[in-house]
Structure 1
Amino acid sequence: MRGLEPASSQQHAPIHLNGSAPPRQDVLNGHAAGAAVAEPVLQFHYRTSWQQPTLHRSINGGEWQGVPMRQVVSGGGWWEAADLKLAAAAASGNGSGAGSAAPPLLEFVVTDGRDAWDKAADGSNYAIAAPGRWSLRDGQLAEASLPAVLVCSDLDDTMIGDDAATAAFSSWWHEEAVPAGGRLVYNTGRALDLFERLLAEKGHCMAEPDMLISSIGTRIYVKQGGRWVEDEGYTATLGEGWQLEGVREACYRALAQVGKDAMHFRPPSEMSEHKVTCGVRLDVLDSVLGGIKRDLGEGGVQHRVVVSGSGDWRFVDLVPREAGKLQALEYARRTLGFAPDQTVACGDSGNDIDMLEGRHRSIVVGNAHPVLLEWAEARQRGLAAGTPGGQLLVAGGHRAHGILEGLQAFGFCLS
């Protein structure tokens, strides 16, 4: 849901798209979809206050090497991660001589890059015997007991709106989800500046995301060098068939038909070269949409219309055909390396329908607008009758409590 009101001070190390992805569950098990054998991967998370820790490791008794770790943006400033591809490293291993014990798959220590070292309690090196997802905190090495999850959530009245609920989600996220390989994406109608304002206001209870989808799926940002940087690769996919001036002209013609008391353009801060937004009174909505769609169809403009809001007025967003919350979610999912059944979308209003009807799992929070609850009821009937799509759960809990409820039902959260 869009907020009625239009960054955290935490500074983070750069996040690199090609290095930030948690390995998919089928890859961790050695069998990637569509491939007979995949290179085994070990994902390692480390909880620390060190700014730039380095993992010193030996794989299968091979050469010791230093691996710089990267900060997990959604980890609250505490979690660092490294992904180790094991097959190539194993090829350079020394093996073991006759009669000697086989070396562990991974032997390692962690250093702060200066004089401090983190070793096992007895002073020896840490050791891991099998691929998978592992974490180390306070000297305790553990294999993940929960599956990794990509949570892609709307913000207003879904993730936020109840500070206690938001804080409960953030606490679970930092303590359980991140060390299990989880990653967090916000999928919001807010533009970047409004998101940063929100994050500054709610930083005491709200987790920072690993990726931000903003402006109804027309922009994607990642955190690099302490600031949010646009993913230009995604933006470049949005131009085909889109004509900004043609869309604006169609909206101006609709406004002339119904008058400025029934329709208006939203402030420039809510629009971009790939997004035109108007406020439209409910009683003229069908007429306005009909006129805009007719004009754009005649002009050959490829577009998507997203309607949201409640009461006597509606937001009408016009974006490129390739844009939208679902398209952006799919891009984020592929970029971060998650399968559909590891991905959970969460929303509360009509403009979330787009992202809730994909192949992934979805949660409708208990405080959802009537239009979304009606859609969810019809969607569940369709799924029960065999319509393709991912699992959909309508939670009883409101806002972030509903998200946690759904994640528990899907098996990603213990309590």
Structure 2
Amino acid sequence: MDSSCKEENGNPVNCLWVHGPIIVGAGPSGLAVAACLKEKGVPSLILERSECISSLWQQRTYDRLKLHLPKQFCQLPFLSFPENFPKYPTKQQFISYMESYARHFSIEPIFKEVVETAELDRVRKFWRVRTQDFEYCSRWLIVATGENADSFIPEIQGIERFQGPVIHTSSYKSGSEFKNQRVLVVGCGNSGMEVSLDLCRHNAIPHMVVRNSVHILPREMFGFSTFSIAVELLKWLPLRLVDKFLLLVANFTLGNTDRLGLRRPKTGPIELKNATGKTPVLDVGALSQIKSGKIKVMEGVREITKTGAKFMDGQEKEFDCIILATGYKSNVPSWLKGTDFFTQDGMPKTPFPNGWKGENGLYTVGFTRRGLLGTSSDAINIAGDIVEQWRMIKGFRTSCTSHILPSRTSIY
């Protein structure tokens, strides 16, 4: 075995040369870029830490989840959603679409393969991707772990003292487990709103913490999705004018949310989304429950006590459990080494639409803060860029003697 396939201390490791790109992550982003590459005749290898594709959707989402945007804005390249799917597919329908997508393009990730480190070999100019079993090497590395790889757990004073259960929404499935319980939901994004609504429908008593300002928009306006209206208007009007229109309609249909303790940011919803990635809440029924008092809106938490919480406005209440609807974060800094392409938060430093390409064969997909529409754009761009290089070096064989996995020989 060549020295390029040895540990620094000289002990040999299982080394596998991958002729196409290595893709880290088998969520929608990883599947999309693998499909785009395959359509252009370029093989790839997907490494996935869990035992299934789209693990966020399959293992870490609540039962009542539906796509927030119409299906035409959420489909991946080269394969549409089935025509009989509703406008807003359910969680199970989306998972079935992802599974059909993988089958259609014969995408077979290697599951339960946790990437521990990935780093450029600056001498040989290829990427070394180390897992618990192997070291994979390739000219190209595609980071497809996305913005939502790991649960984000904020520091909340006293939370370790709370005697009841504390869970993140990634562990929440249904409000049926919380019947008649007083539940503190920390967070007022789409997840916080929907979990609170689900708790209401199962006769729980949710108290939702709203620490910052938030834009709430109706999911539909005039019978059309709010998102599709915004997309069309942006073709003809300046962004800030579109924001003003959206807020005008939102105030007319939803009323003044400030009176409910839901202060709107000074920056418009689309402008804020583009600048910070903060997504406006698309109301699917939670607002009416807030108006009726079934969902209690609370100010920020001052501290958690043994039996409940103290709030910024001086109130103190008891709760049976706490649900953290605090979102997710990228995990790229924990395993990708030797590059400054990403920020400390694990997001590309280069903003959309140019954040998909780094240097020395490094690419990223699914970090646009623009959902699956951004993922599709990234995937198409990456495949187009790599195929030109692939054609130039097709037939190239590394001088490193590789240890090939017998069951995977055909795809390298």
TM-score (norm 1): 0.28
TM-score (norm 2): 0.28
Q: Which has the higher strand share?
A: 1
User: Higher relative contact order by CA 8 Å / sep ≥ 6: 1 or 2?
Assistant: 2
